[in-house]
Structure 1
């Protein structure tokens, strides 16, 4: 897989530059851009994993999720600049569904095929459950109800207020987890994992250089990827909703997808769950609010208003993940259940 990513990067990057200069077919370039971003995301995942090996599952999961979400943040900023508000909101919805149902489901399923029973921190699972309910149900659904009677200006004011609250609470959650209550709710499973030493694939300096170069390359390719959305959507009959929820979300979160599944296969479920759920929380409580605030500087502002299919899908994904993970253990059938839910929602969004 690593060799494949390397080949895709060394072929995909030159083709991305040449194709954008000579204006190749938008459909062909869309495929090249997507494959290149996925390969670059693989390098981002490997670099962050090398940096995180000595830092423990929580920090490792957070680091992986942060740089994995950086890809989607970059794509979303360029889409926002282009006025593609629907695609931005849809891609963030897709991140929630993809992380909880696709990444979480594949992690539980793949790990469950190798191990009949896998466990992770029940305290983290319960903490994340409360955060997920707040981030999606309280911060997204309830404002949607109130903004039905507001004009565009007041809706944007409410959105900015919610965005600021989400960012403050997310930073407070990091303070709680990594400073004031670090190690307080540590389970034997986490302690045992921390005792197993593992050599990083790359040294610190090399990992930082690769991380910086890969992120810069993603920024370049993402800007050109956004320009192909209109033509590709018209060619294949894809709506903005489907492109954002399925295509952009999968491409943008490729690094987390690969890393979480690998961690589950290695029976490092605390890291896998932290990547899947932690990435969701970071998207809903930090990335999305940042985009709402950034949109104030563009020609088209982005209110924190989703469509009802998006909201209902996110709420369903959150409740299903909480129900399955709240006991602190997993198996392949639970993973298959999450995957089935993702496929059902994907079919629904395709036909909208």
Structure 2
């Protein structure tokens, strides 16, 4: 039933997005159409990566899901950078970190915990990811903020470029560690049983749908960015709220749904890999990549977040590390993460 709804949304949403932009329909109406279209396209990307996850295994599958889920947000952010909307881009990065660690992980733990009393995932992966999370968010994002207080804008950007290069190198090294040198070293024995599940789509069909959906998302995302200013004025939303809540949720819709579905099926290794792996990819790869891409645009983007953004991200990381470090979870821990997300969402709305 859900798949039929998303199919109808894609069939109707893509043509309406094209027609509406050509005929200059109401910006508010088009904002809604663009968001719903991106969410439905993201659902297809999620199903395709789920199929690839069954074929490739939970670890690589989770990485693929996180990558293509973040591809949507990366595309939106590039077009926002092009328009000089630096505040929205930085806010959307913050929203992705909060959304993945608190909303996605929280919903996964909560929904899965309702069906199962206790759910387990690879504790070694959890501890490895905890160190990277602490580094990526608390060190790599806080340091530029502290040092930039004594720097000119040009020096702050140069510092951000240097940090971005280091972060990308570290992210590639982390992939090499998990997928090559230490692949299977910390794997749990029961993961092998997941290999017998049949994928929904074949490898070729999954890749083809991913490619087509990504192209469609790129087109709709460019149009979506042009509606931000009007929608913000209409609803009284700040750039911060649009980036942290709206763009982050729309941009990460694919992985949000996939992680919850995996948790409901008691595949917590994949669910946690999507939620935490996506956060690491945002902090160690997407954010620094956007800094480097901004070199080619009139307005450069430094890794300088506002104080509320930094405190919110740091709190989310610490809470997630404390909850996930034991390798098991339940519905109450999921509710705790969700409560933290709602509290932060209210705070950013009030700003």
Give the TM-score of the pair, scaled to structure 1: 0.98
Query: 2:303: which partner in 1?
Result: 304
The answer as to whether partners of 2:144 and 2:156 remain within 8 angstroms in 1 is: no
* Structure 1 unmatched ranges of 5 or more: none
Give me the whole-angstrom Cα distance separating, in 2, the residues matched to 1:3 and 1:102: 25
Query: 2:10: which partner in 1?
Result: 9
Shift in Å, 1:261: 0.2
Query: 1:184: which partner in 2?
Result: 185
Moved over 4 A (4+): none
Query: 1:213: which partner in 2?
Result: 212
The answer as to whether partners of 1:119 and 1:189 remain within 8 angstroms in 2 is: no
Query: 1:65: which partner in 2?
Result: 66
Give me the whole-angstrom Cα distance separating, in 2, the residues matched to 1:315 and 1:193: 34
Give me the whole-angstrom Cα distance separating, in 2, the residues matched to 1:259 and 1:333: 21
Q: Within 5 A, what are the aligned runs for 1:192-203?
A: 192-194=193-195, 197-203=196-202
2:134 is equivalent to residue 136 of structure 1 = no
The answer as to whether partners of 2:54 and 2:194 remain within 8 angstroms in 1 is: no
Count of residue pairs brought into register by the alignment? 350
* Structure 2 unmatched ranges of 5 or more: none
Query: 1:160: which partner in 2?
Result: 161
Shift in Å, 1:190: 2.8
Shift in Å, 1:192: 4.4
Query: 1:98: which partner in 2?
Result: 99
Query: 2:316: which partner in 1?
Result: 317
The answer as to whether partners of 1:97 and 1:314 remain within 8 angstroms in 2 is: yes
Give me the whole-angstrom Cα distance separating, in 2, the residues matched to 1:52 and 1:319: 29
2:41 is equivalent to residue 40 of structure 1 = yes
Shift in Å, 1:205: 1.6
Shift in Å, 1:339: 0.1
Moved more, 44-53 or 218-227: 44-53
Give the TM-score of the pair, scaled to structure 2: 0.99
Per-residue CA deviation, residues 234-253 of structure 1 (Å, 9 max, x unaligned), is 00000000000000000000
| Secondary structure, counterpart of 1:149 in structure 2 | coil
The answer as to whether partners of 1:120 and 1:189 remain within 8 angstroms in 2 is: no
Per-residue CA deviation, residues 24-63 of structure 1 (Å, 9 max, x unaligned), is 0000000000000000000001111112212111100000
2:238 is equivalent to residue 239 of structure 1 = yes
The answer as to whether partners of 1:120 and 1:190 remain within 8 angstroms in 2 is: no
CA RMSD of aligned residues (A): 0.7
